[in-house]
Amino acid sequence: MKEKIEINGEAIYLRKLFGEDTDSPIDVFSLLHNNGDLTIVLYPMSNRVSGMCIRDGNNKIICINSTSTYGRQRFTIAHELYHLFFHKDFKSIVCSKDIEAQKDLQEKEADLFASYFLAPYEALTSFIKNKLKKEKQTLHVDDIVKIEQHYGLSRQATLWRLVNDGYITQEKANTMKTGIISSAIRLGFDDKLYRPLPEDKQHITFGKYIKLAEELKDKELISTGKYEEIMLEGFRGDIIYGLNPPENYD
């Protein structure tokens, strides 16, 4: 397995490739939407699966389990990006939801990359030391909430990273695996990070798939009926039937 410093370096490299800095929290969904080679599919999957990725030539597809929490979906995106940009010789990979489970080396590397991509090593170290004013083995559950809210990490991903970096023990982490939403709400945070998407948004496709369908229609290379079929197969009836909510020009 690669050294942590090398994987953190790869995370920094990909951040810069996407035009991001090395310290700030990032909106991984926006990163994907702005990458012309990627298609993103949100779809309910087994509770044992976090997502999967497919690579076929220049086509890259990331499928995310839309029943997982928003924080976990962000982690899954970063995990799949590692497979797509740094692993070779694969066509599809299905990824487990349990970060703490025994996995092969590629999956362990992808988990570590996802953590560093969302919260680079130096950035998290600085946040804990300078913002929270804490040292290793002194973190309270309130500090855990502030870390996960700042970087958009799920509780599982946050505890796993802090144990991995020696900030808390596994025994202490085990005491913070329940009461997750209440611990955030009582500090004044929204609970979006800890909940899945609403059911009406759990089937949807973004990215290259939609763009190509629009181009084929505009160039009259496919019929209107075929265009609608493609869109419906991508769960985009909202585009076909104009189901978007009213807009405000504020």
CB 53, CB 61: distance < 8 Å: yes
Rounded Cα distance, 168 and 159, in Å: 8
Can you point out the beta strands (E) in the chain? 38-43, 49-56, 59-65, 92-96, 204-207
Per-residue pLDDT at 176: 97
Helix (H, G, I), strand (E, B) or coil at 40: strand
Per-residue pLDDT at 59: 86
- Ordered by start, the domain boundaries in the chain are 4-189, 204-241
Per-residue pLDDT at 196: 93
Dig out the tokens for 24 from the structure: 């700030």
Cβ partners under 8 Å of residue 37, min gap 6: 58, 59, 60, 208
**Residue percentage of the chain with pLDDT more than 70:** 100
Tens-place pLDDT, residues 152-193: 999 999 999 999 999 999 999 999 999 999 999 999 999 999
Helix (H, G, I), strand (E, B) or coil at 166: coil
Q: Which residues of 1-11 are buried (b: 16+ CB within 10 A; e: fewer)?
A: eeeeeebbebb
Which 8-state DSSP code applies to residue 194?
Answer: G
Is residue 90 scored above 90 in pLDDT? no
pLDDT band at 241 (very low <50, low <70, confident <90, very high): confident
Nearest to 40 by CA among 105, 84, 86, 99: 84
Burial class (CB in 10 A: 0-12, 13-18, 19+), 144: buried
Tens-place pLDDT, residues 116-134: 999 999 999 999 999 999 9
Rounded Cα distance, 23 and 237, in Å: 38
Tens-place pLDDT, residues 24-41: 999 998 888 777 789 999
